[in-house]
């Protein structure tokens, strides 16, 4: 039964019973009131008249006229108040006796007769009073009974409502509240179990449907998420490069098998741990978590992996996401990727060895060609005609260039294999500049280029390998001459800034496009359209030489306005 119907029935019945109770009570009170009113009106008055008549009868002896008058009045009232059976006959008898008394006022016998009549009337009425009071009593008892029956029914219904109704309403609400809390705590398997055919039954059905749909939705999402997670894990694991994922606090979130292999640890010992803590006992981990600013990308890491010395290039990628509805991206961690460049390194070594061997093997025959040319130029060998001299000059140029190229290639291969020997000692900067300018003097004169030196006085010595530094300056000057127009000027500046000596070669040549400024120090790089006879190695070797001496190398240039190449070396 519906709660609403239940409530309507219960409370309605209660109202009906209270109404009946009121009606029954009113009815019986009315009956009792009628009964007592009857007694008063019909019998009590008769007794009153009778008493008055008896008194006036006794008065006749003393005040005859007044007593007769009073008697007559009460007799008249009695005649008008006949209520009982036979009362009229007795009253008639009394009246005839009273008429007789009026004619013979001293007749005692008649007086006795009258008294007898009055007493009979009184007895008749007193009997009637008793009967009527019995009836009133009976009415009161019936009233009691009915009121008790209806009252008990009211009580029983009210008691039943009091006991059952609150529980009927509160229990399902309690159960429902508990279930809603469970759902809120993500326990989507929760169901409510009241199946009454009322409003709560409907509510339970709706709730269970909702919970089922939530569970279905949750499960499908969970499945999708775990599937995606598995896919990502498999993908990361199958990658040939070691990968480690860290959160913002440096806790390791994921690590693939390759990474585990090179750090020599088990997954359970690594996952969820702070990388900084692991770095205390694992040197490789320590070098992995060092931040990018240490230029670790520039120097590949040498790690023993795959049963041989392998080379890895470290890349630390900061992962950022844009939370839904927000404009700013936030960082959620880092991924360390170690790119395995062993194959390229091996190829590089092979190439370097090849270059070293070839340039070394070429150097000797080229030198002997140069020597033979010198012998040919010597008059004792024979007189040459103009055309032969011209040919010899051109062979000399080419062999000079070949010697320069093989020299640079040899230097480079020595640098790459780490075989370079630096002789760093106290060196005089003026001497280095002088040596370099002298070396390129002839070349400059060929283009009518003037090389001037602008040097501060009393500069201290520098910590440098004088030979290599001169080589670098010669390279700067050769380039400056090559890329400057004829009849121009090249300035070599020498100055001190703080604890460093700066060597500058300033030309007013064609300059360098800003796009290429950082690239000119790369190996084999030549600006498109520049002197094809070069190798693109000079500046790369210069950079290696200077950095090996703890110095810095730099270029400032503007297209069309000339370039300034500079190196700075520490003073002693």
By CB under 6 A, name the binding residues for ligand ADP: 475, 479-480, 483, 507, 509-510, 512, 520, 525-527, 530, 534-540, 563
Report the distance separating Cα 271 and Cα 212, nearest Å.
Answer: 36
Residue number with CB closer to ligand ADP (424 or 555): 555
Sequential DSSP letters for 173-226: HHHHHHHHHHHHTT-TT-------SSHHHHHHHHHHHHHHHHHHHHHHHHHHHH
Residue number with CB closer to ligand ADP (382 or 528): 528
Residue number with CB closer to ligand ADP (287 or 482): 482
CB of 454 to ligand ADP, least distance (A): 17
CB of 543 to ligand ADP, least distance (A): 9
CB of 315 to ligand ADP, least distance (A): 28
Q: Which residue is nearest to ligand ADP (CB)?
A: 534
Residue number with CB closer to ligand ADP (248 or 531): 531
Largest CA distance in the chain: 222
Residue number with CB closer to ligand ADP (314 or 543): 543
Give the number of other CB atoms < 10 A from CB of residue 295: 7
- Phi, psi (deg, nearest 5) at residue 499: -105, 30
Beta-sheet pairing, 450-455 with 308-321: unpaired
CB of 391 to ligand ADP, least distance (A): 26
Residue number with CB closer to ligand ADP (167 or 448): 448
The upper half-sphere exposure of residue 416, i.e. CA atoms within 13 Å in the direction of its Cβ, equals: 21
Residue number with CB closer to ligand ADP (124 or 537): 537
Give the number of other CB atoms < 10 A from CB of residue 241: 16
Report the distance separating Cα 121 and Cα 126, nearest Å.
Answer: 9
CB of 555 to ligand ADP, least distance (A): 8
CB of 524 to ligand ADP, least distance (A): 9
CB of 490 to ligand ADP, least distance (A): 9
CB of 488 to ligand ADP, least distance (A): 11
Report the distance separating Cα 342 and Cα 300, nearest Å.
Answer: 10
**Which H helix or E strand runs over 8?**
helix 3-38
Tell me the CA distances in angstroms from 249 to 255, 328, 344, one per residue in order: 16, 20, 35
Residue number with CB closer to ligand ADP (196 or 523): 523
CB of 473 to ligand ADP, least distance (A): 12
Report the distance separating Cα 204 and Cα 399, nearest Å.
Answer: 100
Q: Is 125 exposed, middle or buried (0-12, 13-18, 19+ CB in 10 A)?
A: buried
Residue number with CB closer to ligand ADP (197 or 532): 532
Give the number of other CB atoms < 10 A from CB of residue 533: 11
Residue number with CB closer to ligand ADP (68 or 480): 480
Q: 371: Cβ–Cβ under 8 A, 6 or more apart, which residues? A: none
Which of these, 541, 313, 532, lies nearest to 416 by C-alpha position?
A: 541
CB of 503 to ligand ADP, least distance (A): 14
Tell me the CA distances in angstroms from 443 to 363, 446, 450, 529, 567, one per residue in order: 22, 5, 11, 22, 22
Give the rounded distance of the alpha carbon of 352 from its chain centre.
54
CB of 481 to ligand ADP, least distance (A): 9
Residue number with CB closer to ligand ADP (342 or 535): 535
- Is 150:23 a contact under the CB 8 Å cutoff? no
- Phi, psi (deg, nearest 5) at residue 284: -65, -40
CB of 376 to ligand ADP, least distance (A): 28
Residue number with CB closer to ligand ADP (111 or 510): 510
Residue number with CB closer to ligand ADP (379 or 532): 532
Q: 520: Cβ–Cβ under 8 A, 6 or more apart, which residues? A: 512, 527, 539, 555
Which of these, 105, 102, 41, 103, lies nearest to 72 by C-alpha position?
A: 102
Report the distance separating Cα 63 and Cα 120, nearest Å.
Answer: 26
CB of 323 to ligand ADP, least distance (A): 47
Report the distance separating Cα 372 and Cα 366, nearest Å.
Answer: 10
């Amino acid at each position: 039964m519906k709660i609403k119907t239940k409530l309507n029935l219960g409370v309605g019945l209660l109202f009906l019973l209270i109404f009946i109770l009121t009606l029954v009570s009113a009815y019986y009170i009315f009956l009792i009131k009628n009964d007592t009113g009857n007694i008063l009106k019909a019998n009590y008055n008769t007794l009153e008249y009778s008493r008055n008549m008896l008194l006036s009868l006794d008065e006749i002896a003393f005040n005859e006229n007044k007593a007769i008058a009073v008697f007559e009045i009460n007799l008249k009232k009695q005649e008008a108040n006949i209520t009982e059976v036979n009362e009229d006959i007795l009253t008639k008898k009394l009246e005839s006796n009273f008429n007789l008394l009026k004619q013979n006022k001293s007749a005692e016998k008649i007086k006795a007769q009258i008294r007898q009549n009055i007493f009979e009337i009184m007895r008749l009425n007193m009997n009637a009073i008793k009967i009527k009071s019995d009836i009133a009593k009976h009415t009161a008892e019936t009233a009691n009974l009915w009121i008790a029956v209806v009252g008990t029914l009211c009580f029983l219904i009210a008691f039943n409502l009091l006991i059952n109704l609150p529980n009927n309403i509160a229990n399902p609400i309690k159960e429902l509240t508990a279930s809603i809390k469970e759902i809120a705590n993500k326990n989507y398997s929760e169901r409510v179990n009241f199946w009454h055919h009322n409003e709560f039954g409907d509510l339970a059905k709706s709730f269970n449907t909702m919970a089922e749909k939530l569970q279905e939705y949750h499960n499908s999402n969970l499945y999708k998420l775990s599937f995606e997670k598995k896919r990502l894990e498999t993908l990361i694991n199958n990658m040939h490069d070691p990968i480690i994922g860290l959160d913002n606090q440096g806790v390791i979130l994921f690590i693939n098998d390759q990474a585990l292999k090179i750090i020599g640890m088990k997954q359970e010992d690594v996952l969820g741990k702070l990388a900084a803590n692991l770095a205390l006992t694992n040197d490789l981990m320590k070098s992995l978590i060092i931040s990018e600013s240490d230029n670790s990308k520039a120097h590949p890491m040498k790690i023993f992996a795959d049963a041989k010395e392998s080379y890895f290039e470290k890349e630390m990628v900061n992962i950022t996401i844009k939370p839904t509805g927000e404009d700013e991206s936030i960082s959620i961690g880092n991924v360390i990727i170690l790119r395995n460049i062993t194959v390229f390194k091996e190829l590089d070594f092979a190439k370097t060895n090849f270059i070293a061997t070839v340039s070394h093997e070429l150097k000797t025959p080229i030198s002997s060609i140069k020597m033979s040319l010198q012998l040919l130029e010597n008059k004792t060998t024979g007189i040459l005609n103009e055309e032969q001299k011209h040919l010899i000059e051109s062979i000399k140029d080419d062999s000079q260039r070949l010697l320069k190229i093989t020299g640079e290639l040899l230097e480079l291969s020595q640098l790459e294999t780490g075989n370079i020997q630096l002789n760093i000692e106290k060196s005089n900067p003026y001497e280095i500049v002088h040596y370099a300018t002298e070396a390129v003097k002839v070349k400059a004169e060929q283009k009518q280029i003037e090389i001037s030196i602008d040097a501060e006085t009393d500069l201290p010595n520098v910590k440098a390998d004088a030979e290599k530094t001169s080589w670098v300056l010669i390279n700067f000057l050769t380039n400056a001459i090559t890329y400057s127009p004829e009849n121009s000027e090249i300035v070599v500046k020498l100055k001190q800034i703080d604890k460093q000596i700066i060597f500058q070669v300033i030309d007013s040549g064609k300059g360098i496009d800003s796009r290429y400024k950082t690239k000119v120090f790369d190996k084999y790089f030549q600006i498109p359209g520049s002197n094809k006879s070069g190798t693109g190695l000079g500046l790369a070797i210069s950079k290696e030489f200077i950095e090996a001496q703890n110095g810095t190398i730099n270029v400032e240039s503007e297209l069309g306005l000339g370039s300034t190449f500079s190196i700075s070396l520490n003073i002693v």
